[in-house]
């Protein structure tokens, strides 16, 4: 913590990012699980609905992302929580690139999303990892969380 009991700007920004990501993934994951055909029309209007099952599976993954991101937003000074979101975001970078390269039928929104997402996820993943490292450095590696450094 910086300035007494107030968290530093990096921690406050990390909290806002994690809250926004959680809300986005609740919306994206929820709609994908409940209305996969509708989401297929948004993301890949030129594709047959054969990919619905795979898209629905992705929806459950996005809902898990939302859970981890909500944890990090609520416990945003926990370096383990921030590092978990960082890892999720960074692992999604190649996933989106592979989907863009190998997928078909993307509309303008789907293409735009898959082009923007890797850059965004890389930046967010690196930023959250940096904030987690700063928290660890400030508090001593793992002192606050049971002596275990993440």
Q: Say if residues 24 and 30 touch (Cβ distance below 8 Å).
A: no
For residues 16-29, give the mean pLDDT. 97
Integer Cα distance of 90 and 85 in angstroms: 9
For residues 77-83, give the mean pLDDT. 95
Integer Cα distance of 132 and 150 in angstroms: 9
Q: Which of 69, 60, 80 is nearest to 132 (CA)?
A: 80
Domain residue limits, the chain: 9-139
What is the total residue count of the chain? 150
Residue pLDDT, tens place only, 36-53: 989 888 888 877 666 788
């Amino acid at each position: 913590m910086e300035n007494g009991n107030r968290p530093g700007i990096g921690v406050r920004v990390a909290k806002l990012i994690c809250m926004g990501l959680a809300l986005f993934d609740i919306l994206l994951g929820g709609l994908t699980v409940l209305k996969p055909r509708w989401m297929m029309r948004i993301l890949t209007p030129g594709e047959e609905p054969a990919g619905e099952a795979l898209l629905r599976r992705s929806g459950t993954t996005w809902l898990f992302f939302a859970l981890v991101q909500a944890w990090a937003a609520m416990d945003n000074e926990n370096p383990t929580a921030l590092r978990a979101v960082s890892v999720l975001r960074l692992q999604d970078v190649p996933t989106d690139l592979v989907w863009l390269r190998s997928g078909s039928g993307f509309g303008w929104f789907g293409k735009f999303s898959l082009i923007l997402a890797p850059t965004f996820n890389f930046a967010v993943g690196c930023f959250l990892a940096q904030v987690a490292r700063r928290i660890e450095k400030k508090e001593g590696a793992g002192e606050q969380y049971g002596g275990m450094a993440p």
